Structure formats: structure tokens, C-alpha cells
Structure 1
Amino acid sequence: MLHGIALRYFVEVARTGSLAAASDNLHVAVSAISRQISKLEHDVGAPLFERMPRGMVLTEAGELLAEHARRTLLEADAVLGEISAGEARGGKLVRIACTEGFTRSLLPAALAHHREAAPNARYALRSGTPAQVEHWVAVGEADIGIAFSSGSTSALNIVYSAQVPVCALLEPRHPLAAHSSLTLAELQGYPVALLERGTTVRQLFDLACSMRGIRIEPVLSSNNSAALHMFAVLAGAVTLGSAIALKGVRSRASLVSRPIDEPVLNQRMLQVTTMRERRLPAVVKGLLATIVEMVAEG
């Protein structure tokens, strides 16, 4: 029989890759964790970890059990939360993972809006690459994920998906802001600020330019979209992103989006995800509905 305490120890060792790290995080002796892992391996009849010089690595059997254990523990937490008075008041931490652009205005606005209905809710928001967001949601380190993705994984439940083109983002008084749509040739006449190479936006933009035989060198490149947005406002530059990323809080330093007439720049999918087959606490469902509504509205 698989006991909850053993599963919690097992999941933490799987997450950290180390008995010592799991011991520090759980405030439990290494020997106690090791005994529980050994008991689990005896119960399932197979080794769950390979004991390597630099840590513990899940075996194939361990991967299968880890997927089950994460979902089981999260579901147990959700059920207990529904029973408790704290859950009824929305007093639960919700963990959101996203790509960096959504931290600028969309998600802060969604959290503020959700908190009006759930004033006792608490939030943990962190950003990363699309692959990191997918991993955090798949292993239960995040309750909700929002990222641009070109594919899907069996470990995720795709709650909402939509094609979101790469657009030009510019200050409302910029000369090109009067156009209903833009071409790459028109962008050549103005300074351009771009995300670093390796990002989806940059890859699609460079591909579109290559197909047209156009060369556009950015005057500023960065891995931080907020810096690019502010530079576009202050320097009259054009940057790239999505109209969705601009939704939410507005300020004097705002930008507008204009589509670029390039089919290649339409090849981006936005996905809002949760762990597959996971029972979600009510407070997570509420925030999920708020995020989807904000993303989906025209």
C-alpha cells in the first residue's frame, strides 16, 4: 500500500534529485526519507531511482510512479481544501507560471481582478521559457501555465488555445501607428528593438525577413520585454510581441499593436494549461476562468 508520507518524500527526492536536498526542504532526517524510499521500492517491486554519484535519477518505473504521486498529492490537497473553511474563503496559494511577456500587464491585471472575488487568495507568479512553463505545470510546481507553444504534451490539459500572431508594438504617436497593418519593408525605416535570438518571436521574425530578402538589425536586443517596451515608448522604436500581452493595466507609457502582413508571423499558439487529469481547487478554477476570459476577449 502506498502511503501519503512516503509519496511526499518520494516526490521531493524526485524534484530535487537528492536525499540531502529533500531532507533540508522537508525538515526530515535523511535516514527517514531513505527508509520510506526503500519501502516504496519494496512495495512496487522495482527500483525507483538510480543512485548516481551526483544525485538520484528516476528510473522508468520511478517516472511512472512520480506522475501518479504528484497528481494524487495535489488531488488530496484539493479535497482537503474544499472541506476546510479556508478554501471556502478562497484562502489558498495559487501558483502561476508564464513566459516573461505576460508578467508585464495581463497577469497582474488578472490577479487583481480575481482578488476582488477571492480577497483571501494568495499568488506565486514566476516566468520562464515555454519549456520551463510546461515542465512546472506537468510536475505540479505550478497550478496554471500560460505560454506560447508550437506543440502539446500528454502531461498537460490544454484549457484554452488560440493562434496569436506576432505583431508590431509601438507608441500611439509613432508614424506607423496610423497604418492598419505593416510590412517588413516599412519597419526598415525605423529603429527596431527585438528579443534575443532563440526566442519564438525572434525566430519567426528572422525567418520572415530571410524569406523576403530583408535585413533588419535591432538597435536594442534583450531578454526582457518590459525593457523593449519602454525603449519603444521613449525612443520611437518598434518592438514585437502580441496584442494579448498589452491587455490589462494601462499607463502613459502604453503601446498599441499593429499586425504585420507576413503569414510566417501567424505561426504561434497560445496555450493556457493545467496538469492532465488533476482535480483543481475552487480558487484555482476561479483564477483560471478569469485568465481565459481576459485572453479570449476581443
Structure 2
Amino acid sequence: MQLMPVSLTYFLEVARTGAVSEAAQNLRIAPSAISRQIAKLESGVGVPLFIRNPRGMTLTDAGSRLLAHARRSEAESSELLSELRTGSGTDVRTITVACSEGFARRLVPQAMAVFRRDHPDVTFQLDRVPHQEATRRVAEGIADVAVTYAMGPQHDVRVECAAVVPMSAIVPPGHQLAGRERVGLAELCGYPLSLAPTGTTQRDLFDIGVQLEGLTVRPALVCDAMASKYEFVRSGGGIALVGDLGDLHPDPTAEGVVYVPLDHPVFRRREAQVQTMLGRRLPWAATQFVGSLVSLLRPSAPAR
């Protein structure tokens, strides 16, 4: 059941897919029905919402603004329907969190466990996804909140809190770097390295730093799984990089590794962010959980 007008429902699907034919297939209706509703919607608002081209349909500026409104309406309609069907009001909530792997290892699950001590009727759904996907899910109302890494301003979501996250190298006990207070990028690159895949914020910044330093690096392992990186290091395969927030164990000896801070200004470009949908009024439980995450991410900083 949909609480939104049919025209907005069709508009959302065309905006998601970029094509009337694909939207029609997903909605199981005739393409002509979608085209009529889109034309009716454009006539009603008085401006084009899509640019038609042979490869599909792209949003105009007006269409992008309407899309943001439609996404908020869809998310709030879904929440209201859930409440009406369960008769639960605000007492029972499911909070969906999308986050990148580093945060899914410790910080977010720990925050969920602490939150449920005071709110045992809250159910969490945790989706571990790449950082761009976490942001997309919040922007489209699929997730209530994202905890992820980002570089630069974010225009499609509200950033509730942001903190620069230093980087560390993880080395096995007894390694030449194990007793160091910090290590430079050039020295680090003298050892076999386990690096994140190209396209991740960590790897992009590492590659920028290497280029600035005029270094040449051939990684020993390219991997996006934290558990595999730790095992690679413990087994003597080389050194891996991790963020100083969410990835690190409070007792490194329990992981069988040593953390050595990495000293290079390029990594200050990356932020850990708590993100929510622009303009959306979150349910009470989700709002409270966002506050808990903000306090963990940057205890002294207000939400922004």
C-alpha cells in the first residue's frame, strides 16, 4: 500500500532507474501509464522534471529538488504504515544502520548494545556496505543513519557529526616498527603492504600520498576484509593500514598485533561521519541513537 500519490511513486522509480521501461518493469505496469503520470506531474508543477535522451532520463534541477522531497515522503509514509499495521506507536522501533566495515567491527555494534540497555524494545538492522553505498542508502531513505568515511562536502545527506580519523599501521609483535611512536609514509612503503582496493577512501588517500612523495609501491595484498588483513599481518605477511576509529581494538595484544600511528597530512582529508537524510524528521528512537553515535564519534562536538 502506498500513501504517496501515484504520480510521485512513478516519478521516484523513474528517477532511481533512469528509464521509463525499467521503472515499468519494476512496478509491473505499462510504460505508457508511467509516461502519462510523469507528464501530468510536470504539467502540474509547470516545469520539466526530466531531460529525455536516447540513453534514458536524467533529472533537471527541479526534478532533483522534487526527488529529495519524494524520498522524505516515502520514508515517512513507510514508517507511518508500519506503526498503523502494528499498532505500536513510538514504543517499538526498528533502526536501520548502514556502515562501512571498520565501523561495523566494533563502534556501531557496541553503540547498539549500549543503546538497547535503556531501550530493549528497539530492534537494529545493520547493513555492512561500501562507504558510497552507505551514503546512498541514507539519501534514498533505505537506511535511517549511515556511519561511514567520506572526503569533502556531502550534498545529498545531512552530516550530523564529522571527525578526522588518523591512520595507523598494524604490525606483528617484534616487528622493527613495533616500538615506534609513529612512522612516515616513505619508511612504511619499504615493507610489504596490505592495502584496501582502489576506490576506497583509505586507498585513494594512500595513493595521493605516495604520488606526492614520489614513491613506488607494489602491494603484497589487496583486500577489503579487515579480518583477512589482521591474519595476514599476524602471519608475518606484511603491514596493513587501519583507521584509528572503529577499526582498532582497545587491547591490541588481544588481536596479536601492534598499532603504530602513521604520520602524513594527506590522511587528514578523510572524515568519519554520521549521516542522515536531508530534511527528514527521524523517529524518536532513531534520533536518540544518532545522538549516541555522535557522542562516541566526537564527544566534545555538537551535531552539525
**TM band (smaller chain):** 0.7 to 0.9
Equivalent residues in 2 for 1:50-129, closer than 5 Å: 50-78=51-79, 85-92=87-94, 94-116=95-117, 117-129=119-131
**What amino acid is the match of 1:14?**
A
Farther-moved stretch of structure 1 (112-121 vs 147-156): 112-121
| Partner Cα separation in structure 2 for residue 179 and residue 74 of structure 1 | 49
Q: Deviations over 1:156-209 (max 9, x none)?
A: 211111111222123456453332222345535643211234433234334444
Matched, 1:235 2:236: yes
Q: Residues 120 and 85 from structure 1, CA distance in 2 versus in 1: closer, same or farther, beyond 3 angstroms?
A: farther
- Write the mapping of 1:215-294 to structure 2, written as runs, cut at 5 A: 215-235=216-236, 237-247=238-248, 252-253=254-255, 255-294=257-296
Whole-angstrom CA distance in 1 between matches of 2:24 and 2:74: 19
1:178 aligned onto 2:185: no
The answer for unaligned runs of 5 or more in structure 1 is none
Q: 1:113 to 1:154 in 2, by over 3 A?
A: same
Does the 8 Å CA contact 1:82/1:281 hold for their aligned counterparts?
no
* Structure-2 residue corresponding to 1:166: 167
Cα distance in 1 between the residues matched to 2:263 and 2:50: 52
- Opposite residue 266 of structure 2, the aligned amino acid is V
Task: Tell me whether 182-191 or 3-12 shows the greater mean CA deviation.
Answer: 182-191
Q: 1:67 to 1:213 in 2, by over 3 A?
A: closer
The Cα RMSD (Å) is 3.5
Aligned residues: 295
CA distance in 2 between counterparts of 1:40 and 1:71 reads: 18
TM-score under structure 1 normalisation?
Answer: 0.79
TM-score (normalizing by structure 2): 0.78
CA distance in 2, matches of 1:196, 1:123: 26
For residues 109-136 of structure 1, the C-alpha deviation after alignment (integer angstroms, 9 at most, x for no partner) is: 3344444424442415141244x44333
Q: C-alpha distance in 2, partners of 1:33/1:148? A: 37
Which runs of 5 or more residues in structure 2 are unaligned? none
Residue 204 (str. 1) matches residue 218 (str. 2): no
CA contact (8 A) 1:184 1:214 kept: no
**Deviates most, 12-21 or 82-91:** 82-91
